[in-house]
Structure 1
Amino acid sequence: MAAAVPAVSAAVVEPLTVFIVVRRDLIKTLNWPIGSVIAQGCHAVSASLWKHRDHAATQEYMSDMAHMHKVVYEIKNESQLVALANRLTEQQIDHALWREQPEDILTSLATRPYRKSEVGDAFKKCGLFR
């Protein structure tokens, strides 16, 4: 007689993830070093986590630092970044735009923590940063 296979009793919970978008033209057109562009995404994440620090999802995300998830996308240029930010606002997806100073250039944005199923469609036109 074959052994019974135990049923999975707990559903797998989709992780909270911060979604980051940086401008590709900062590298290709404006010749910024990759490290500087990465720093822009980091600034946007810091701004978003601080801006949304009282949200339950942010508190849950920050309470388990060993298991943080982030996805980094790229977008073509500033106008596409602004259009994406407007769509996120229309869809009530919390985020922060980062404007680098003293250059006064919009460089990136980051969401507060979300589950991909909640916001994934908003980023379907963005490619992964490479």
Structure 2
Amino acid sequence: MAAAAPPDSSIAAPKACEGAHTDAPATAPTPETEEDPIVQCIIVRKDLEWPLGALMAQACHASMAAVEENRHDEATTAYLHADNLLGMHKVVYEAKSETALQNAATKLRERGARFHAWVEQPEGIHTAIALKPYPRTVARVLCKGFRLLK
């Protein structure tokens, strides 16, 4: 992996195998419906000059951490239900830099989102954020203004 600048100290660096997350209250989840499926949103840094597989792994780490931290949440339980496994939805957004990722985390906190900010260890590089699963209508509001990863 390419060397990166030291992490910005304004996103608290967690211990190895832990990520920064918010304890902000969750928007009231609702069971999944065809009209409003449950989705998980992920934001990945685009500026890291890492192999595609390494970036995908960062998104996966953040996703799994957000799901685990919210495993008893109604929307998360519905998202992981056996009947939904073939119909899971994820939306992946980009952050152009570590500062952009930090700004996304700030916006998510302000909007009351529950998420996990992944920090690659032992390097301490902030790489991705994953929200807990939310109904699509809620996720759209929480992620308004974010750009899809291209």
- For this structure pair, what is the TM-score category when the shorter chain's length is used for normalisation? 0.7 to 0.9
Q: Which amino acid aligns with 1:43?
A: H
Match of 1:90 in 2: 110
- Identity in percent: 38
Point out where structure 1 has 5 or more consecutive residues left out of the alignment. Answer: 1-10
Question: Which of structures 1 and 2 has the bigger CA Rg?
Answer: 1
Match of 2:149 in 1: 129
Correspondent of 2:38 among 10, 16, 29: 16
Q: How many matched pairs?
A: 116
CA–CA distance in structure 1, aligned partners of residues 40 and 34 of structure 2: 19
Give runs of ≥4 in structure 1 deviating > 3 Å. Answer: none
> How far is 1:127 from its partner?
1.9
1:47 aligns to 2:65 (yes or no): yes
Structure-1-length-normalised TM-score:
0.83
- Aligned alpha-carbon RMSD (Å): 1.4
> How far is 1:37 from its partner?
0.6
CA–CA distance in structure 2, aligned partners of residues 86 and 107 of structure 1: 15
CA–CA distance in structure 2, aligned partners of residues 65 and 100 of structure 1: 27
Structure-2-length-normalised TM-score:
0.73
Point out where structure 2 has 5 or more consecutive residues left out of the alignment. Answer: 1-32
Q: Which amino acid aligns with 2:38?
A: L
